[in-house]
Amino acid sequence: MTATDRPSSPYHPYAGRFDVHAAMPEEPISREQILGELRQMSAEEDHKGDTGRVSGSIYSGDHDHYALLTEAYSFYAHANVLQRDMYPSATKLEAEIIAMTADMLHGDDETGGLITSGGTESLVTAMLTYREWGRHVKGIERAQVIMPVTAHPAHEKAFHWFGIDVVKAPVTDQYVVDVDFVREHIGPNTVALIGSAGTYPHGLIDPIPELGRLAIDHDIGLHVDGCLGGFVIPWAEDLGYPLPPFDLGVPGVTSISADTHKYGFSLKGSSVLLFRPKSLRRHQYMIIEGWPGGNYALPSMGGSRSGGLIAATWASMLHLGKSGYRAIAADVFRTADEIKAAVRSHPELTLIGDSLFNVAFRATPGGGAIDIFHVNDALTQRGWRMNGLQNPPALHFCVTKPNTQPGVTEAFAVDLAAAIEYAKDPPSAMPRSGATYGAGGVSPDVDQMRSAIIDRLDAIHEIGPR
């Protein structure tokens, strides 16, 4: 059977177009063929994001910028910065990334940080730090953390892996954490509180000053998850947008994370985690003594780490500078305003909060309400890729640089109006999208849903038809 005879599948669309390699080839494949296949697949996959019709996912979309980053990466693509005697430049690059991020987020001389592989590692590392701090400083054997229900689920990986108890705080009718609930549930084993800036579902900033006061009063930590918004909302005040305090300038904030591979516009696989005081960072260091291979010490969760990603991140921050980030943020905020205006123009839809960059909207509650996932179905048919939400069922449009292109918001407004008309009289009562997020307000069978998710996770790690 030739490559073109093989059937494809939703998870393996190239199975019928390129050879499937179930084992290493006996003879080398030519450089031209390898690069040609990669070039073709990447060009096709980049096209949708480059058109500006994708929510989140693609943050820069500037291929000239990517070229700079990949060139910077190439100098250290082979480098493992675990071996600092081999690559001492990593200390310069990492330290400057940390310092520049701390400066942006109102850190001071007592701020220290780490470079991680992304938002998940930053959040997991922060939770490990507080568990160890609680154990070694306060004598708490079974740590507890209080987080909003809107906080990123990566925190729950840490709770599962590290044996941390979690109390989930509800949100108010404004979809930010209920501070009164948090206050009432701080107990003797509580080591930290969590707030977001902004939340992944709705792009909103939790009341960080109020959480900070609770953290001070109870001598506990406060982590601010700025993985999504940390490199875009800091420019809001400079641009004349009101911004509640959220970062290390808030008393009581003891750590904050911000992803350089999102609105920091670096390559995927990098994030910054900051601590104040910097001594807090030491609680997650791993030192293993007496190993036959020598004393083993790591500054963070990872062992071997790529010098290329560090170099690319450093290059991105220097090449854009504050003025570059500020200019992109201005375009993002303007575009979000235009999307919000389109949503507000339809009585069938209601905004969730008023995010600067991540526009969340739901069907207006009431008799005869449309199903928001029918709206999503129609937008998908027109080439848009929104993010589905649940509790309540909703969509969000996380605005990134590709969305700021001329004509994108005008096209969205036209297609949103058509999508609402579609949702008023859909061809099927059950929408095609949204099953994972509540099936348009209808609760799916939980076992069936979990089974489908597990099947998908299996499928994306297998080679498919051959």
* Burial grade of 60 (CB within 10 A; 0-12, 13-18, 19 or more): buried
- Paired with 232 in beta bridges are none
Task: Give CATH for domain 74-317.
Answer: 3.40.640.10
Mean pLDDT, each 10-residue run in order, the chain (466 residues): 49 84 92 95 92 95 97 96 90 96 97 96 98 98 98 97 98 97 98 97 98 98 98 98 97 98 97 97 93 88 91 98 98 98 97 97 86 96 95 96 98 98 92 55 57 70 64
pLDDT reported for residue 277: 96
Spatial distance between the Cα atoms of 401 and 112, rounded to a whole number of angstroms: 30
Q: Crossing angle of helices 89-104/307-344, nearest 10°? A: 20
- Cβ atoms of residues 363 and 372 within 8 Å: yes
User: How many other C-beta atoms are found inside a 10 Å radius of the C-beta of residue 11?
Assistant: 14
Residue 48 backbone dihedrals phi, psi, to 5 degrees:
-65, -45
- Cβ atoms of residues 224 and 246 within 8 Å: yes
Spatial distance between the Cα atoms of 392 and 22, rounded to a whole number of angstroms: 43
Q: In what order do the strands lie in the sheet with 144-148?
A: 112-116, 271-275, 255-258, 221-225, 190-196, 144-148, 165-169
Query: What are the tokens at 311?
Result: 């170099």
- Paired with 350 in beta bridges are 362
pLDDT reported for residue 82: 86
pLDDT reported for residue 200: 96
Give the predicted TM-score (pTM) of the model.
0.91
The domain locations on the chain are 74-317
Element (H, E) at 359: strand 358-363
Query: What are the tokens at 307?
Result: 């010098």
Residue-wise DSSP of 100-152: HHHHHTT--TT-EEEEESSHHHHHHHHHHHHHHHHHHHS--SS-EEEEETTS-
Cα-Cα-Cα-Cα dihedral sign, residues 38, 43, 46, 48 = negative
Spatial distance between the Cα atoms of 158 and 145, rounded to a whole number of angstroms: 11
Q: Taking Cα atoms as reference points, which of 335, 331, 104, 320 lies closest to residue 239? A: 331
pLDDT reported for residue 449: 62
